[in-house]
Amino acid sequence: QEIVLVVFFGVEYVVRLWSAGCRSKYVGFRGRLRFARKPISIIDLIVVIASIIVLSVGSNGQVFATSAVRGIRFLQILRMLHVDRQGGTWRLLGSVVFIHRQELITTLYIGFLGLIFSSYFVYLAEKDAVDANGTNEFGSYADALWWGVVTVTTIGYGDKVPQTWVGKTIASCFSVFAISFFALPAGILGSGFALKVQQKQRQKHFNRQIPAAASLIQTSWRCYAAENPDSATFKLYVKKSVVSNSSVVSSPRPRKTVKVRRKLKSEKDNGLNSPTIPSITYDHVFDNRKPEHNSVDTYNSSTVKKNAGFLDVQTPRPIHRTNSFGDDLDLEGDSVLTPVTHISQ
């Protein structure tokens, strides 16, 4: 029987070492060596070698050496870890404990406080009491603490029993309250496992719906793309935005722009005596009022820039008057005023 087990585990180790090359990180000689250095592989190798040594020595060899080698066989129990190679069980337990860590810490803290104080009170009540055999069962606080642990865990060996009525009263109260707190972690973990399993089932059901939803979205997009006269199903259909004048007029306060033009050479030649008439023009986009017909002077509309600001102060060329002021007034009275887009002074 021993020979069959050794041969089975030896062949299994060799097969696992050979089949490890199916993974990219274990390909080649160095990859196999990396696989052999894993903790579980080292334990398997030690167990196989120890079993071979035990069979080769036999029962006629040194008893101490054989018993020492046989003690290594307890490592064979660690092979049960292969049942859960992915570690899903340990991850599930860790997640449940981590989620309910506050409740577990609270219940364990209160339970240990009750254990310490109750054991101390029992020690004070039973330190001088003796049983029928004349022995003191609670001679030290360590004995009382051992009794408290056995009582809380509901084992009840019966090796230590309170003798006085005060000790029995304390033990009764301790059994009722402390045991209830030590039993709470079991209920917390049980409910946590149930909620975790239910959450996994919902997640599994949700994962089954994802491919169907993705197929529905793809089909609807293909139908939408097929209705449009375009061969590309990935083309984005974007409409060009049209900027209207109403969006520009909606601004409450148009910004004033002042443009100062450099003086021409003719202005410098005329000097300071030549009169200059600054004109204020309004942009046709921002000015929605009706044109006024009482302007003093008119200019050609071609001189007004299209992109002028709200208030555009310009310095036109100097005007040389050849007529008198009265002649100008008569000329203005005879002329017909035309609508203008600016006011000149």
Mean pLDDT lowest among 1-5, 7-11, 64-68, 281-285: 281-285
3-state class (DSSP) for residue 240: coil
**DSSP strand pairing (312-314 vs 342-344):** unpaired
- pLDDT over 70, % of the chain: 57
Taking only the tens place, the pLDDT of each residue in 281-337 is: 444 444 444 444 444 444 444 444 444 444 444 554 555 545 555 555 555 554 445
Residue 155 has pLDDT above 80, yes or no: yes
Q: Which residue has the higher pLDDT, 238 or 48?
A: 48
Mean pLDDT, to the nearest integer, of 39-56? 79
Q: Which of 30-44, 165-179, 312-326 is predicted with the least confidence, judged by mean pLDDT?
A: 312-326
Residues 100-121: tens digit of each pLDDT:
999 999 998 998 898 999 899 9
Least confident of 64-78, 162-176, 217-231, 329-343: 329-343
Give Cα separations from 260 to 141, 264, 311, 313, 344 (angstroms). 101, 12, 12, 7, 16
Helix/strand/coil percentages in the chain, nearest 5? 60, 5, 35
List the single range of 170-174, 215-219, 293-297 with lowest mean pLDDT.
293-297
Q: How crowded is residue 324: how many other Cβ atoms within 10 Å of its Cβ?
A: 9
Average pLDDT over residues 128-142: 83
3-class state of residue 133 by DSSP: coil
pLDDT of residue 287: 43
Give residue 286's pLDDT: 43
When pLDDT is averaged across residues 120-135 and rounded to a whole number, the result is: 85
Residue 160, classified by CB atoms within 10 Å of its CB into exposed (0-12), middle (13-18) or buried (19+), is: middle
Total-model pTM: 0.47
Percent of the residues in the chain that have a pLDDT greater than 90, as a whole number: 7
What is the tens place of the pLDDT at every residue in 239-268? 555 555 544 444 455 454 444 444 444 444
What is the arithmetic mean of pLDDT over 222-231?
A: 71
Taking 50 as the threshold, does the pLDDT of residue 141 lie above it?
A: yes
Whether 90 has a pLDDT exceeding 50, the answer reads yes
Q: How far apart are CA 252 and CA 255, in angstroms?
A: 10
| Residue 26, helix vs strand vs coil | helix
Mean per-residue pLDDT for 19-31?
86
56-65, 77-86, 331-340: lowest mean pLDDT where? Answer: 331-340
What pLDDT, on the 0 to 100 scale, is given for residue 59? 52
38 forms beta bridges with none
Cα 205 to chain centroid, rounded = 23
Nearest to 282 by CA among 193, 198, 342: 342
Cβ neighbours, 10 Å, residue 45: 15
User: Where is mean pLDDT largest: 57-66, 126-135, 274-283, 308-317?
Assistant: 126-135
Q: Which residues in 181-332 belong to E strands, given as ranges?
A: 279-281, 312-314
Half-sphere exposure of 253 (CA within 13 A, CB side): 2
The pLDDT of residue 5 is above 50: yes
